[in-house]
Amino acid sequence: MLKRVLSGLLMFCLLCAPAAAAGEGEEALTSAKAAVVMEMKTGRLLYDQNGEERLPQASTTKIMTTLLALEEPDIDTYFTVDSGAVHVEGSSMGLLEGDQVSLRALCYGMILPSGNDAANVTAVRLAGSIPNFAKLMNERAKQLGLADTAFVTPSGLDADGHYTTARDLAELTRYAMGDETFREICCQYRAQTKFGNPPFERWLKNHNKLLEMYENCIGVKTGFTDNAGRVLVSAAQKDGVELVCVTMDDPDDWRDHENLYEMCFAELSGRDVSALFPKIEMPVAGGEGLALAAVVGDTTLPLRDGEYERLEVKISVPPFEYAPVRAGQQAGRAELCLGEETLLSLPLVYEDEVAALHPYRERRGVIGWFQDLFRK
C-alpha cells in the first residue's frame, strides 16, 4: 500500500512540472533507457526520460520509410520487386522473387508485420539503391528538424551510424500521423492487402499488441534488434486529446506505455481558447475603412489545470495593409504562448473586403492616408 502511495505522489510531482522529467538521481517511471510522451497537436513534451540520448531505433525506422513511400504520386501501381531486395534477414511480409506489389501494399507490409523485405523493395523502387534511399531519409530528417537522427538502412537493421532519439522519434511520428493514409494503416491490428505472382489477397497481422491491449491506442510501430532492444512508438487518443509515446530499449514496453498514457491523459483536458484571440482592425492604405482580421483554425488546446489562465497571445501583423483587401487574405499570425513555449500558432485572416479607392481618387487617397497617419 505504501509503495502505491509513494508511486502516486511521484507521478503527481512530475506532472506538475512544465515538462515531467526523470533525470540523474531521480526515479524513472519506465524500465526504458529513454522515453518521452508528446502531445500531438502542440508537440509539447509531457514526460521526458533521457529523451535526447542517441540510441538505435530498430524497425521504428520504417516510419520514415513508409512516410516517403506514401508521398509518392501513385502508390497503387503494381511493379515487379527487385530480386536482391527481397533477400534480407529478419521479419518479412513474405515477398518472393518475381512478385508484383504496390507501394501501398509495401506500406502495410512495413508497418504491420514489420517486413524488412518491404523496406528494401521500397528503397530500391524509390531511389535505385539502399544507400541512395538512405540519403533521401536523411534529407527528410533534416527538413523535419530531426537533428539527432541518422539513417543507414531503410529497415532498421543494426548499422554503424544508424540512430535517433526518443524526442526525434516522437516528432517524426507526430508528422507522420498527419498523413491520413499512414494513420489508417498503423491503427489496424489485421489488414488485407494484395501481392504475389500474380497478386492475390493476403492477411497481414500487426506486431503492435498495444492496439488490442489498450483501448485508446491508434498506432504506431514496434521495433527490435539485439543491439537496440525493444523499441515501441505508439499513439493514443482520449477525449479529443492525442498523445505519442516512445520507449527505447524497454523490456516492459507494453505496460510502460499504458501507465504513461493513463498518467498523462489524467492531467489534460481540451479547452477552447478562441476567446483569448482578439480581432485585429488593420488600417488600409488606398482604401476606405478598416480591415477586420480574426484567427482561423482549430482553437481547442489540451491543457493542464491552471494553464489556461497563464496563456499569453502574441500578434504578428504589418503596420497597415494596401487596398484592395480580399476576404480570406492572410493578415499575419497569432501565437498562444505558455511562458517561453509557443503552444499554438494560427493565421490571422481578413473577414471582409476593403475595396481600393476609385482610380481618379486613389493617388490622392493614399497620400491623404499617409498625411493623416503622420498628423497623428
Grid cell for residue 38: 508528446
For the chain, give the number of residues.
Answer: 376
**Euclidean distance between CA atoms 246 and 267, whole angstroms:** 19
Does 205 qualify as catalytic in the annotation? no
| Residue among 365, 274, 278, 269 nearest 322 (CA) | 365
- In order of 317, 331, 373, 374, the CA distances from 369 in angstroms are 19, 19, 6, 9
Which member of 33, 41, 62, 91 is catalytic?
62
Q: Which residues pair with 338 in a beta bridge?
A: 311, 341
| Chain-centre distance for alpha carbon 99 | 33
Can you say whether the dihedral through the CA atoms of 333, 40, 108, 247 is positive or negative? positive
Which member of 59, 91, 155, 234 is catalytic?
59
**Euclidean distance between CA atoms 270 and 96, whole angstroms:** 48
Does 91 qualify as catalytic in the annotation? no
Helix (H) or strand (E) holding 294: strand 290-295
Does 114 qualify as catalytic in the annotation? yes
**Euclidean distance between CA atoms 320 and 332, whole angstroms:** 11
Q: Which residues pair with 350 in a beta bridge?
A: 293
| Angle at the Cα of 265 from the Cα atoms of 41 and 163, rounded to 5 degrees | 60
Query: H-type helices in the chain, by residue range?
Result: 2-16, 62-70, 103-111, 116-127, 130-143, 166-176, 180-186, 210-213, 253-267, 359-375
Which member of 33, 41, 102, 114 is catalytic?
114
The DSSP letter of residue 196 is E
Q: Phi/psi at 254 (nearest 5 deg)?
A: -60, -50
Q: Which amino acid is at 351?
A: E
Annotated binding-site residue? 238: no
Percent helix, strand and coil across the chain, each to the nearest 5: 35, 30, 35
**Cα end-to-end span (Å), the chain:** 71
| Residue among 222, 171, 166 nearest 36 (CA) | 166
Q: Just list the catalytic residues.
A: 59, 62, 114
Q: What residues form the annotated binding site for substrate?
A: 221
Q: What residues form the annotated binding site?
A: 221
